[in-house]
Structure 1
Amino acid sequence: MTVSAPLNPPAHAWAAWSPCDPGCVSHATGRIPATRTLRRTAAFGRALVGALTRGERIAEPETLRSTAAGLLTALGIRLEVAGDATLSAPGATGTLVVANHISWLDIVALLAVEPVVMLAKREVGDWPVVGPMTGRAGTMFLDRASLRQLPDAVREMSDRLRDGQSVVVFPQGITWCAGTGGSFRRATFQAAIDAGAPVRPVALEYLQHSVPTTVAAFVGEDDFGSSLRRVLRADGLTIRVRNHRPLLPVPGKDDRRTLAARAQATVDGARRPPHS
């Protein structure tokens, strides 16, 4: 597996960029013994084969949720959900779910909470594990190097929200090792305003035995194989998904800039960076 997290200079002035690289990544506690790592690897292999053999059925909501939860279990990861039990908020429209971005595991964790539509960079479709699963589940893929695609993506998101589908976006546009850093990009918030849909801020946090950790971060020129091996050896890894109260766009007051700022303040306020 050689799929890497990008650390190239931004393709244009508005492209997301992060200074994080694999040097930011470390275990917060000891590693598990080799025998346990081998058992996890075998369990993850079985779970992955099971996911791939489901074919188009993986797009079924409960199948997708159980598949994502099974992958986390096979990796020895505990999923902890704080706040509401679902990502979608009650109402006639879907919910725009916005979260900080740390790892490829972010996608798996959120799908294990609730099967929702993802807006992801085009490269995610090529990732092992996550790519096939999200592709079959109807993920919207966006070429970050092409600004021309963005208006069409926002319109499609707005249409899906009006149809009652909830959509997850990572407004930072790129991963950060601690989940903090980088401004929330405003464009995708326009979809919520156009659809009159609520925005659910979600704070993601990774811990090892209750200690904040960067072990699961997928940043810089890291490759998927190295990231997966670290996760397989991680002891006591928990992904905490904190679902905050939905934000409702205020007509005549909120624009995409203010809505993005409100969402980021909510997410950042719930996060504690594990290191400087």
Structure 2
Amino acid sequence: MNGPWDVHSDCTPDCAAHALPRVPAARIARRGAAFARTVRRALTDGERMAEPGRLRTHARALLDALDIPVEGAAALTGGGETGTLVVVNHISWLDILALLAVEPVTLLAKREVGGWPVVGGLARRAGTHFIDRTHPRRLPHTVQEVSELLAAGRSVAVFPQATTWCTAEAGTFRRATFQAAIDAGAPVRPVTLDYRQQGLPSTVAAFCGEDTFAGSLRRVLAARALTVRVTAHPVLWPLDGGLDRRELAALAARAALGGRPVTAVTGGGAVRPAAPVPHAPPRDTPAHV
């Protein structure tokens, strides 16, 4: 019997492929040097990196060094007395940078992320909460911890697929962390991340299976016109609709993985649109929202 975090992805490093010809070697070298310099600057911030403004600045700078603009949503949360549970599909280590570049939220990630080169150190300094999937008995404690963060007004971003896939349509959402939103009376924001090269769907950013960070970074450094789009779907209100965690996870997955926005269910079976999400204006340069 599978445990709550025992998830298998069919994706392998072979799934990652360029949709366009690679950039010249000179540009790869410039990107690599810029990325290394930006990582060093970020790490020198130490504990101060957890400050929201600094966190966003560092995330944007790292993506700028890689020539990866962020398109789409200008915000992930909607304010209010509680925080928002932001549930996101998982493709790459770049997902973390993309989310933090849009809005610095508390991240909940698998323990292995903390050991990733570069990103692991940044994630730890940014105050990420790590899940130890080898100890499923700690699951109730993790849910309680997330619920307390939400109740205290802190928004938390989680990857309910529990592993990475090469596209935004694969996998399913595990339902455990959705209980935290129910317990805290907090809204849930489904978010889709997808990667493109000059508008073409691309798997070049995928970090799957037995892939290494070095191998993934080399592909990203060589990628031509790579962008990441952040699509924030309407908020789900679990308490208004009397939703349990299974229903909530299914609705969130329908939006985030299928790209089919849903409305928020209210008491009595009625539906109402959730708060709109602002979008960034078009840009002609690789700047970020």
TM-score, length-normalised on structure 2? 0.87
* Preserved contact between residue 96 and residue 166 of structure 1 (Cα < 8 Å): yes
State yes or no: 1:19 paired with 2:10.
Answer: yes
* Structure 2 match to 1:270: 259
* Preserved contact between residue 11 and residue 145 of structure 1 (Cα < 8 Å): no
**Cα distance, 1:195 vs structure 2:** 0.3
Counterpart of 1:42, as a letter, is A
**Cα distance, 1:12 vs structure 2:** 4.2
Identify which of 167, 186, 200 aligns with 1:197. Answer: 186
Structure 1 residues 157 and 134: alpha-carbon distance in aligned structure 2, compared to 1, 3 A threshold: same
Partners of 1:15 and 1:71 lie apart in 2 by 31
Partners of 2:216 and 2:228 lie apart in 1 by 15
Identify which of 227, 232, 248 aligns with 1:259. Answer: 248
Counterpart of 1:56, as a letter, is E
**Cα distance, 1:14 vs structure 2:** 5.5
* Structure 2 match to 1:216: 205
Structure 1 residues 13 and 202: alpha-carbon distance in aligned structure 2, compared to 1, 3 A threshold: closer
Partners of 1:22 and 1:133 lie apart in 2 by 24
Which digits, 9 at most, give the CA deviation of each residue in 1:66-123, with x for residues without a partner?
A: 00000000011111123xx211122110000001000000011001111110100001
* Structure 2 match to 1:119: 108
**Cα distance, 1:254 vs structure 2:** 0.3
SS for the counterpart of 1:250 is: helix
Partners of 1:266 and 1:128 lie apart in 2 by 32
Counterpart of 2:139, as a letter, is L
Counterpart of 2:33, as a letter, is A
* Structure 2 match to 1:176: 165
Partners of 2:46 and 2:242 lie apart in 1 by 45
Partners of 1:225 and 1:11 lie apart in 2 by 31
Partners of 1:50 and 1:72 lie apart in 2 by 14
* Preserved contact between residue 16 and residue 203 of structure 2 (Cα < 8 Å): yes
Partners of 1:229 and 1:11 lie apart in 2 by 34
**Cα distance, 1:223 vs structure 2:** 0.3
Partners of 2:5 and 2:47 lie apart in 1 by 36
* Preserved contact between residue 185 and residue 239 of structure 2 (Cα < 8 Å): no
State yes or no: 1:73 paired with 2:67.
Answer: no
**Cα distance, 1:270 vs structure 2:** 1.8
* Structure 2 match to 1:28: 19
**Cα distance, 1:250 vs structure 2:** 3.4
* Structure 2 match to 1:139: 128
Counterpart of 1:173, as a letter, is A
Structure 2 unaligned segments of length 5 or more: list them: 261-289
Structure 1 residues 254 and 13: alpha-carbon distance in aligned structure 2, compared to 1, 3 A threshold: closer
**Cα distance, 1:138 vs structure 2:** 1.2
TM-score, length-normalised on structure 1? 0.91
Partners of 1:41 and 1:252 lie apart in 2 by 49
State yes or no: 1:159 paired with 2:158.
Answer: no
Partners of 1:49 and 1:11 lie apart in 2 by 40
State yes or no: 1:42 paired with 2:33.
Answer: yes
Structure 1 residues 33 and 185: alpha-carbon distance in aligned structure 2, compared to 1, 3 A threshold: same
* Preserved contact between residue 100 and residue 172 of structure 1 (Cα < 8 Å): yes
Counterpart of 1:50, as a letter, is R
Q: How many corresponding residue pairs?
A: 260
**Cα distance, 1:145 vs structure 2:** 2.0
Identify which of 35, 43, 49 aligns with 1:52. Answer: 43
Structure 1 residues 29 and 216: alpha-carbon distance in aligned structure 2, compared to 1, 3 A threshold: same
Give aligned-pair identity as a percent.
59
RMSD of the TM alignment (CA)? 1.5
Structure 1 residues 154 and 47: alpha-carbon distance in aligned structure 2, compared to 1, 3 A threshold: same
* Preserved contact between residue 83 and residue 156 of structure 2 (Cα < 8 Å): yes
Partners of 1:54 and 1:160 lie apart in 2 by 24
SS for the counterpart of 1:141 is: strand
Partners of 2:257 and 2:248 lie apart in 1 by 14
Which digits, 9 at most, give the CA deviation of each residue in 1:24-44, with x for residues without a partner?
A: 110001100001111111110
Partners of 1:64 and 1:216 lie apart in 2 by 22
